[in-house]
């Protein structure tokens, strides 16, 4: 169900998927000028490669022999946390429990790795995702500012779940 993204071809596919998923999902939250800058700042090949170099793990989510999304995380034992950097699923696949299965996988990974919580950030106006994370047991820790390479700054909500 999950396949690690490692090769250059995988990363190129990921960049394309990210562009498709983000363009579809975030068009309701960002204008046509801001959205491409956000995608470039958060999901460009350069950004992904830098995150992988910094220890982030990226995975494709597969279902019925097709890629339906992807996720990325980083484990920081010094903070006793797994940071869920990204979880994105194509719109026609949402609402089928795929994200919840990823979360269960990450919770198991926390137990194996000996870390006690999962943290994430979500754009403060992304109400649907915030509600989903709360339904999954995450607590809202408040607003933080995030800066992207594309000179954009956003207010996100930091969320946390003990495992």
Mutual angle of helices 34-43 and 45-53, in 10-degree steps: 30
Q: For position 30, what pLDDT does the model report? A: 87
User: Residue 138 burial (CB < 10 Å; 0-12/13-18/19+)?
Assistant: buried
CATH class of 2-162: alpha beta
Domain boundaries, the chain: 2-162
Q: For position 65, what pLDDT does the model report? A: 84
Q: pTM for the whole thing? A: 0.92
Confidence of residue 147 (pLDDT cuts 50, 70, 90): confident
Q: For position 148, what pLDDT does the model report? A: 67
Confidence of residue 59 (pLDDT cuts 50, 70, 90): very high
Q: For position 96, what pLDDT does the model report? A: 92
Span 60-101, pLDDT tens digits: 999 888 999 999 999 999 999 999 999 999 999 999 999 999
pLDDT at residue 41 tops 90: no
Confidence of residue 116 (pLDDT cuts 50, 70, 90): very high
Q: For position 40, what pLDDT does the model report? A: 83
pLDDT at residue 130 tops 80: yes
Q: For position 149, what pLDDT does the model report? A: 62
Q: For position 114, what pLDDT does the model report? A: 95
The average pLDDT across 106-111 equals 97
CB 87 within 8 A of CB 71: yes
User: Residue 136 burial (CB < 10 Å; 0-12/13-18/19+)?
Assistant: middle
């Amino acid at each position: 169900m999950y396949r690690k993204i490692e090769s250059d071809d995988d990363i190129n596919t990921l960049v394309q998927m990210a562009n498709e998923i983000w363009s579809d999902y975030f068009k309701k939250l960002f204008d046509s000028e801001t959205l491409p800058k956000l995608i470039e700042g958060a999901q460009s090949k350069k950004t992904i490669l830098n995150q992988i170099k910094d220890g982030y793990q990226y995975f494709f989510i597969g279902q019925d022999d097709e890629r339906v999304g992807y996720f990325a995380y980083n484990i920081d034992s010094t903070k006793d946390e797994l940071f869920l950097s990204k979880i994105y699923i194509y719109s026609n696949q949402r609402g089928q429990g795929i994200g919840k299965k990823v979360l269960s996988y990450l919770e198991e990974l926390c137990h194996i790795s000996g870390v006690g919580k999962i943290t994430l950030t979500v754009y403060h106006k992304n109400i649907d995702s915030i509600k989903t994370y709360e339904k999954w047991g995450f607590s809202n820790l408040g607003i933080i500012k995030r800066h992207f390479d594309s000179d954009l700054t956003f207010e996100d909500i930091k969320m946390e779940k003990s495992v």
